[in-house]
Structure 1
Amino acid sequence: MGRSRQVLGVLIGVGAVLCASCSTTLQGNAVSVFSDPFSVAGMPATDGPTGLRPNAEGPSRTVEGTDGGDIDNLAASAVSDIEQYWESAFPETFDEGFSPVKELISWDAGGFDGTFCGDSTFGLINAAYCYPDRTIGWDRGELLPGLRRAHGDIGVAMVLAHEYGHAVSRAAKLTTNGTPTLVAEQQADCLAGAYMRWVAEDKSPRFSLSTGDGLNNVLAGVISFRDPLMQQGDPEAGVDEHGSAFERISAFQFGFTDGPAACAGIDMREIGQRRGDLPVLLPEDQSGELAIDESSVRSIVDAMGILFSPKAPPALIFDAAAAETCADARPSPPASYCPATNTIVVDLPALTALGAQDAEGGLASGDNVAYSVLVSRYMQAIQQERGGVALDNAEAALRTACLTGVATVKMSKQVTTPDGATIALTAGDVDEAVSGLLTNGLAASDVNGESVPSGFSRIDAFRVGVLGDADRCFARFR
């Protein structure tokens, strides 16, 4: 998102920051026959063991160049498991036999004596599928240990499932040498999602994956491999494009929810429809960040009023203590909505902290982690005015996420507010909102700040809004 004063013509972006465990989890029974908020793609949303099983089957594949260490054993176990899935899933989906990759190759990027796909592995901190050789390789020195520290054993399995997805898509003739990188990468994300569903269904003899925190951690890994933000005019823009966090998580969710057959539908046309008018590049010399202050908060709220035209726009106050006096909702800082008074209460220091940038984090951070929460409170006011729906249950939480997605897309075109400012979505904002949905869930919470346990479900509801409209949100989450 960005804001500028028309007189100056300056466009400033909006981003977001991350906060762990800011919302609480709703308890109870779901009421919608269309979308169970306590499930993940039809599976119960539960926490439990995630990672390599204590008594896991050993790897069925050997590794060339291995040092015989724990990391290579984990990687070989992951590839063996992935191949066990595709041994049945590939013929069932693509109606032909499955052929495993030829070799698994390990190297230490700090060494000088390795080769992969015809090139030296010195400094190659990566995992990849080599199309000419039909081999999969990985850096055991830095990449896989880092993934394991950040996301556990399942993070290593996820990356290798993605790389194996390239082999599967080529074998199934979903991709060719001429396929755009963007398509090939998101098909691989999708095929990795299909494998992860098999693990989550407790069918893997080597790995387990809970649909609560475990799957949330996998999604965090997907976000961390998003494309870096670039500016218009950057010579690297559009080169070797893999996709935003929103796009890559969407592709993963397609495979997890609908299986590998859904991955065949990912092409440039489908990606273009999913991307719509969402910005991909930042304006030149702009950061995409908007200062979080009283003026900017008022501008965002004014923009919501213009875009949604409620008959009774909610009042905005900056006295955080006022949220404690609401008769029919508990505070949900840094932004709370009180239905009884139709008021949005903003704790500005807390909102600013939520929107701070984290240069070290793998997730997208910046001001739209914060502003998406503010927008979600306005969306609760929209639900209140429409009437006929509860605001304090799991359905309300996901409906709020969905409507926040609708509002986010509406801001892809500049909105001029009464004070002469313009508000507009900028590249990276959607990824920041997605990161916030995963880590704190506040933009997918009800009026009491309570959300559903699954980050997958929160992001899925947001995506429904991004790709749909308000009526779709009310119909889906009733």
Structure 2
Amino acid sequence: MGTAAVVSLLATLLGACSVPVPGVPSAAESVTRSGVDPSFVRGTDGGLTDRLAAATVTDVQDYWRQTFEPTFGRAWQDLKGGFYSVDSSSRSAKPAPCTEKASDVEGNAFYCPSADAIAWDRSALLPVLREKYGDAAVVIVLAHEIGHAVHHRAGVGVAEQRQQPSRYPTILTEAMADCYAGAFVRWVADGRAPHLRINGGQLDSALGALVSFRDPVGTAKTDRSAHGNAFDRVSAFQDGFQQGPKLCSGMSVDNRKFTQTTFTSFDDRASGGNMEFDRMIGSVTADLDNYFNALVTQRGGSWRRPTVRVDVPHPECEGRDQGPVAFCPATGRIELDGADEVSRLHTRIGDYATGTLVATRYGLAAQSALGRPVRGEAATKTALCLAGAYTGTVFGRREGFGLSPGDLDEAVQVLLGYDYGARDVAGEAVHSGFDRVEAFRNGALGGPAACGFG
């Protein structure tokens, strides 16, 4: 999802190592509460996909008519160039602005600043989004593109980016657009949009699309086409959702931390940044023990190193099912179904999916060691937050156990797609993927203090 240049997203969407989000049945429901005639969209076929797109861009512009002036001190101007629906498979279809032929739009949606217009592929992008992630994914993608129109109107346009690339790198303007999309989606989720509605299950599914649009692992954050890794993109979206457009407008290279990194060694690049399962377990548990020993003892507690077992088919602690990763307070054990589900996620997502799940169990162990509750939503969110706090200390290490470029994305994927790391010792879980990622992110960016361990 870019500005000016047309960058194909279909290959990314279909080929990225993304995790299908289980979600809930409501994620498949329509997000449209009332229809919008798409005849104002140039090239439209009048079908269901363009009707959804029309409802989205109508509500997004309505949102900015209400919000732009309080945010930026001047009135919103609707897009002068309008909106274009393109059938990229048709040889006779007219090209959209910033393109030479219809096929240039294949698998893409974009904002063309020279024409002040938005275009989308109704044959090879929007239907794929709808099928894979639900209607809300279309809403997020188009809200992101109009987000580019917002920062252009706010004074961060093509000229500024060309003249001051270090001040306005692409990854920053992409984060702004993600943030503005999050602010708009919050308005929809609060029931204020005339034509759209989004519930929690739909939002979780749609965030899966945002994860799929991350940059290839190892892309430098200074790359001229960088959009951000999954952690950075979801973080920007959640910041907009939680704090609104004012925060988005104030983003800069001085106050925005981007976690996207390149590979630092040939061996890491060759392995894709992934360790084998047994080696990962040995490395991460030793490091987690050191981290949580210090965390607990510094706060007056007594740390007992958990005994980690990786060969338990169906972990149960005190007769409770925590899923494939479990912390047993009575025995001090951490048990994993290492021969089945956890190893499957390790292979499918990456090694730090395993690391993240194990870290959440250490988070429960730390709370137990300090006499804090290990049941209830507060305990599970704290465990997620502490797993994030640990991850934040590992990020950027140059010696010892450290993170590879794709590891934070693997954490986001496993937390968004599965509730295993968000279960308490009784097996009760935080069911919202959005909330799970947010709790982890709070710890990663704010440290133990953000988890109530000041």
Class of the TM-score when normalised by the shorter of the 2 chains: 0.7 to 0.9
Change (3 A) 1:340 1:190: same
Alignment-derived partner of residue 364 in structure 2:
380
RMSD of equivalent CA atoms: 2.7
- Structure 1 position 313 matched with structure 2 position 269: no
Shift of 1:409: 2.0
Shift of 1:82: 1.0
Alignment-derived partner of residue 216 in structure 2:
228
Change (3 A) 1:399 1:104: same
**Which is further off, 90-99 or 240-249?**
90-99
- Structure 1 position 262 matched with structure 2 position 251: no
Change (3 A) 1:143 1:61: same
**Which is further off, 308-317 or 75-84?**
308-317
Question: Match for 2:336 among 340, 343, 346?
Answer: 346
Cα distance in 2 between the residues matched to 1:414 and 1:469: 15
What SS does the corresponding residue of 1:251 show, helix, strand or coil?
helix
- Structure 1 position 336 matched with structure 2 position 329: no
Alignment-derived partner of residue 417 in structure 2:
439
Alignment-derived partner of residue 87 in structure 2:
108
What SS does the corresponding residue of 1:247 show, helix, strand or coil?
helix
- Structure 1 position 458 matched with structure 2 position 439: no
Cα distance in 1 between the residues matched to 2:75 and 2:376: 48
Question: Match for 2:237 among 246, 252, 276?
Answer: 252
Point out where structure 1 has 5 or more consecutive residues left out of the alignment.
1-15, 26-45, 358-364, 417-421
Shift of 1:450: 2.5
**TM norm structure 2:** 0.84
- Structure 1 position 99 matched with structure 2 position 77: yes
What SS does the corresponding residue of 1:58 show, helix, strand or coil?
coil
Letter of the aligned partner of 2:254 in structure 1?
Answer: R
2:21 touches 2:208 (CA, 8 Å); kept in 1?
Answer: no
2:214 touches 2:230 (CA, 8 Å); kept in 1?
Answer: yes
Cα distance in 2 between the residues matched to 1:392 and 1:206: 40
Spell out, residue by residue over 1:37-67, the C-alpha distance to the aligned partner (whole angstroms, 9 max, x if none). xxxxxxxxx968853435x142476111223
Segments ≥4 residues shifted beyond 6 Å: 46-49
Spell out, residue by residue over 1:385-427, the C-alpha distance to the aligned partner (whole angstroms, 9 max, x if none). 122x2101100110011001111122225598xxxxx532111
Higher relative contact order (CA 8 A, sep 6+): 1
2:345 touches 2:354 (CA, 8 Å); kept in 1?
Answer: yes
Alignment-derived partner of residue 153 in structure 1:
135
Shift of 1:246: 0.8
Shift of 1:141: 1.4
**Which is further off, 281-290 or 238-247?**
281-290
Shift of 1:124: 2.3
Change (3 A) 1:48 1:228: closer
Change (3 A) 1:394 1:431: same
Change (3 A) 1:455 1:390: same
Letter of the aligned partner of 1:374 in structure 2?
Answer: V
Shift of 1:84: 1.4
Shift of 1:319: 4.4
Cα distance in 2 between the residues matched to 1:112 and 1:60: 22
Spell out, residue by residue over 1:45-94, the C-alpha distance to the aligned partner (whole angstroms, 9 max, x if none). x968853435x142476111223333222212211111111111112222
1:50 touches 1:209 (CA, 8 Å); kept in 2?
Answer: no
- Structure 1 position 122 matched with structure 2 position 112: no
1:216 touches 1:456 (CA, 8 Å); kept in 2?
Answer: yes
